[in-house]
Structure 1
């Protein structure tokens, strides 16, 4: 979609997801790097992060029914995902990012383009979504001898990734987004027209990839400055 074809409610919803993502990563950074007693693996913080991720995946599926650039966007997301994996591996050894959300979304967009998933009828998309989710549940109960099939959701008990969204079951959410896009935006007049997205939340939604790539370095830099300024104030 170009600027004049953007849909305000999608950008706004994606902006909400961006805010939830930032809040989750702020809590994660405070817990991991500054040892604050914040449990990000359960409870409100955990579900804040998962709500953001599910929203991104669902909205990506919806948007892909309106876009003709799925191949380009898919390749771009995969490359950015690989770049993040390399940078984090160098900067923070041991912080595995194996098939994180960018690589997952990129793979979904490539599959959507290559298999023409957007052309499937609504009942078929819904059935495929359910099959994907059920397959993921089944795969999660299988203990593999290795992790070569981790992108599909097949791992062993020692597998670890700080950001992991395998094809199964998460492609089920993407397929559900495809179905919703076909259902809600079936008529072109439903989403045509000019829209600039001047409100802050929609602005975040319009630039979600840029915010995703930059928000963690910015958060960590601000936390570092805040921590050290307070530390210096405490010195005699």
Structure 2
């Protein structure tokens, strides 16, 4: 998810921070759901951590897609893993399986990127804000079917462990594309200094997809072990 030798270091660094926030949110979620810790992950600081992580990922994907030349392949790769997660989650938690989570959103957004890449910055901003507004309007509408969940329309009984529909979140992706046009038109760092590319946080950002796929199984395994030995 970068530019090889020409990676912009702060994008990797920010993505690494998003990974840390996401992992922290899922740790707190797991403690609440599986080990009865008194943690409300739907409100307050914990909810803020999760939302911030997701918005950072989506925005940074919009920026980095404008800097990449292999978006179709990258998007399809992410969608492959997204639907693999759909299959696995349906097997284990059929009532709340993930049918359009953040990986689905990011994968489709990257695939759709080529349709919007020639739009002017102001048009991207307008469309992004419009999609965000429409998404919030649709969120208040109850559908009789779940066929349109990718677009934010759900039934009253819909539930999912992870849900990021195109409306409103594709709008955030478009705003990320606009930010690239504003700040990274020359495809160079905004700073006149850089961190070593192998610093721990940037390394997390450079391997964000892999870490996304493995972090929950690792967290759950560690918590299970700690519970078995009496540490939880």
1:20-68 residue CA offsets vs partner (Å, 9 max, x unmatched): 0000000000011111111001111111001000000000000011001
Calculate the aligned-residue CA RMSD, in Å: 1.7
Q: Where in structure 2 are the equivalents of 1:196-215 lying within 5 Å? A: 197-215=197-215
Residue 92 of structure 1 and its aligned partner are, at CA, apart by 3.6
Provide TM-score, normalisation by structure 2. 0.94
| C-alpha contact (below 8 Å) 1:99/1:165 kept by paired residues | yes
Partner of 1:122: 121
Residue 188 of structure 1 and its aligned partner are, at CA, apart by 4.0
Give unmatched runs, 5+ long, in structure 2: none
1:74-111 residue CA offsets vs partner (Å, 9 max, x unmatched): 11111111101111222344331120000010111111
**Once superposed, which parts of structure 1, at least 4 consecutive aligned residues long, lie more than 3 Å away?**
188-191
Task: Provide the rounded CA distance (Å) in 1 between the counterparts of 2:66 and 2:57.
Answer: 15
Provide TM-score, normalisation by structure 1. 0.92
**How many residues align structurally?**
228
Partner of 2:165: 166
| C-alpha contact (below 8 Å) 1:61/1:175 kept by paired residues | yes
Task: Provide the rounded CA distance (Å) in 2 between the counterparts of 1:58 and 1:190.
Answer: 17
Task: Provide the rounded CA distance (Å) in 1 between the counterparts of 2:25 and 2:231.
Answer: 25
DSSP-derived class of the 1:124 partner: helix
Task: Provide the rounded CA distance (Å) in 2 between the counterparts of 1:147 and 1:118.
Answer: 31
